[in-house]
Amino acid sequence: MGNGMGFQPFSYFLTRIAKVLNRHYMNFFSKKTVLFILLGIAPKAFAQQIPLEVNRFTPYGVEIKKEVYKGKESFVLEQHKATDSNQKYTFARLNNTDFHNGVIELQVAGSLNKNAVEGARGFVGLAFRVAEDTSRYEIFYIRPTNGRANDQVRRNHATQYVSYPGFPWQKLRKEFPEKYEAYTDLQIDEWTHIRIEVQDQTAKLYVNGASHPTLLVNDLKQGKDLRGSIGLWLDISTLAHFTDIKITKID
């Protein structure tokens, strides 16, 4: 008599338990990591909350300050002068951080500044794997004003992947239309939760707690081996806010 299962090895039960864990993390965490969790041993991967301290960041073409925005203590960034992405991107780079594969989460809000130019969209996002000399990096960003625009084409350009150097949005849109942009619901002047998962040459962008990625990139342009820091990124005519920044490294 019995249920026909017979004796099951510990790995069987480990796998069963792992299935109920958050599927986002299971994209990255191995059975060994889950075993560590079950046994109460700290695995290599852990979430690091980044303190909101201005001196932890090096600004490139931006001013970074702290303020309370919509009830949250946050960084606020603005460009020193109007610079668009045909030139060099502008961001504040986190010091003393080496990121390759893992998960980055944060809240962002993009607003138009008082001198906004025509075509401004409230561009705000995150650069990742930023090389020490800032010569190479990848970027996911959003265009908040596009999220609810009365124009389907603009809506389809709500989120964007670009890569520096060599792959601005203009080039990617012309040569690979629709591949590196996607729609998601966004609002200007409102907090948006962003989650970026990176594994070798693949990166996924999740927006506002979605269970599936809004934008999937399987061919990161700077290659699978680039590693570096993160950068709080913005583009022309944007007043950008950032808070709740967490990094989980897995290698």
Where do the domains of the chain lie, and which CATH numbers do they carry? 1-45 (no CATH), 47-249 (2.60.120.560)
Mean pLDDT, each 10-residue run in order, the chain (251 residues) = 52 53 48 45 72 97 97 96 65 98 98 93 98 96 98 98 96 98 98 98 98 98 98 96 97 90
The residue among 128, 157, 143, 89 whose CA lies nearest residue 220 is 128
Q: What is the pLDDT, as a whole number, of residue 89?
A: 75
- Tell me the residue ranges of DSSP E strands in 89-156: 90-94, 102-112, 124-130, 137-142
* Tokens 């993160």 -> residue: 230
CB 207 within 8 A of CB 193: yes
Per 3-state DSSP, what percentage of the chain is helix, strand, and coil (rounded to 5)?
A: 15, 40, 45
Q: What is the pLDDT, as a whole number, of residue 38?
A: 47
The residue among 212, 209, 204 whose CA lies nearest residue 140 is 204
pTM here?
A: 0.83
